[in-house]
């Protein structure tokens, strides 16, 4: 699979997060996907992931805007590891804007019908090692 | 799958690299696995990966010793993302010792028989974004 379709999938997912359209967002994930909510806390399966994004939206005061930076894709058979700069812009309750940049890691898997879905979403990348 | 078997697989692979036992090392990889040799250069499939490890051994003057540090595993269905500190110790032709630490990323996949194999081996982790 080429680079471009995975990039478009991530852009669409980040747009859905920004718009808090979590029903559309679920199309990004495999049924057995895992999301790293924060170091030490994961959500597995669409029901848990959907709830997690509601909580994340609340946490960021419904101000979260997610954008993408540089991207690198490594394919191995029916899986792909995506390494991507993710930019999170937020505004707190006092109106103070913040901007965070993370080097995220995603694992995609091709299902038997040839459809690629995200099976692991870890926006913390290798920073998990420094936080656990 | 638990944390421990993946840890043991990586330890066995690093031992095989250190001992330049590349035939044994191939048991670690899926047939369609991809190894990031260095940023911008990959090997796909056991034949290419086997050759790459010969070249890596030459490059490091047959002195390479690979050790493991902290490890973190995220499972999603039949895949797992492993984030692991990898320590590379080398001695150059002049006898000068070096020590490098990387935050590596591996993707493992469970095959239909229930066997886990490495399908993506990217020892550069998210550093790829800074080098491409």
**Domain-wise residue ranges, chain B:** 4-123
Q: Which of A80, A107, A127 to mutate to test the interface with B (most CBs of B within 10 A)?
A: A107
pLDDT tens by residue, B105-124: 999 999 888 899 999 999 99
Closest by Cβ to A119, choosing from B79, B103, B128: B79
The partner residue sitting opposite B76, judged by closest CB among A76, A81, A120, is: A120
Helix (H, G, I), strand (E, B) or coil at B3: helix
B110: region left, alpha or beta (phi > 0 left; psi from -120 to 50 alpha)? beta
Tell whether the torsion through CA atoms of B61, B63, B68 and B73 is positive or negative: positive
ipTM summary value? 0.94
Q: Using only the alpha carbons of chain B, give its radius of gyration.
A: 14
Give me the mean pLDDT over the A21-44 stretch.
97
**Which CATH code fits B4-123?**
3.10.450.50
Using alpha carbons, list the distances in angstroms from residue A35 to B21, B27, B93, B109.
37, 30, 46, 17
Q: Do A79 and B79 touch (CB under 8 A)?
A: yes
| Residue of B6, B34, B35, B107 to mutate for A, most A C-beta atoms under 10 A | B107
- Quote the CA–CA distance of A37 and B96 in Å, as a whole number: 44
Q: Across the A/B interface, how many CB contacts are shorter than 8 Å?
A: 107
Q: Compare CB distances from B126 to A31, A44, A105 and report the shortest one's residue.
A: A105
What is the secondary structure of B6-51 as a DSSP string? Answer: HHHHHHHHHHHHHTT-HHHHGGGEEEEEEEEEETTEEEESHHHHHH
Preferred mutation among A74, A110, A117 to probe B, highest tally of B CBs within 10 A? A74
Are A18 and A64 spatial neighbours (Cβ–Cβ below 8 Å)? yes
pLDDT tier, A132 (very low <50, low <70, confident <90, very high otherwise): low
Residue pLDDT tens, chain B, 132 long: 467 899 999 999 999 999 999 999 999 999 999 999 999 999 999 999 999 999 999 999 999 999 999 999 999 999 999 999 999 999 998 999 999 999 999 999 998 888 999 999 999 999 999 865
Q: What integer pLDDT is reported at residue A3 of this predicted model?
A: 74
Residues of A whose CB is below 8 A from B120:
74-76, 79-81
What token pair was written down for B30?
A: 């899926």
Pairwise CA distance, residues A16 & A116, whole Å: 18
pLDDT, average across residues A93-122: 95
Q: What is the DSSP string of B81-109?
A: EEEEEEEEEEE-TTS-EEEEEEEEEEEEE
Cα(A132)–Cα(B108) distance, rounded to whole angstroms?
21
Instruction: Tell me phi and psi for residue B22, to 5 degrees.
Output: -75, -20
pLDDT at B4: 83
Residue A131: pLDDT over 70: no
Query: Could you tell me the end-to-end alpha-carbon distance of chain A, in angstroms, rounded to an integer?
Result: 34
Do the Cβ atoms of A49 and A33 come closer than 8 Å?
yes
> Is A44 close to B70, i.e. CB distance below 8 A?
no
On whether the CB atoms of residues A97 and A117 are closer than 8 A, the answer is no
- B32, B77, B105: residue with CB nearest A126: B105
């Amino acid at each position: 699979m080429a680079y471009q379709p995975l990039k478009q999938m991530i852009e669409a997912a980040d747009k859905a997060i920004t718009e808090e359209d979590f029903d559309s967002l679920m199309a990004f994930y495999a049924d057995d996907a895992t999301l790293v909510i924060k170091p030490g806390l994961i959500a597995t399966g669409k029901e848990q992931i959907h709830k997690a994004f509601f909580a994340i939206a609340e946490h960021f005061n419904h101000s979260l805007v997610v954008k993408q930076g540089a991207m690198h894709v490594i394919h191995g058979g029916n899986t792909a590891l995506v390494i991507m700069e993710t930019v999170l812009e937020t505004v707190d309750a006092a109106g103070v804007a913040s901007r965070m940049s993370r080097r995220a890691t995603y694992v995609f898997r091709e299902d038997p019908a040839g459809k690629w879905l995200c099976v692991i979403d870890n926006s913390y990348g290798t920073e998990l090692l420094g936080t656990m």
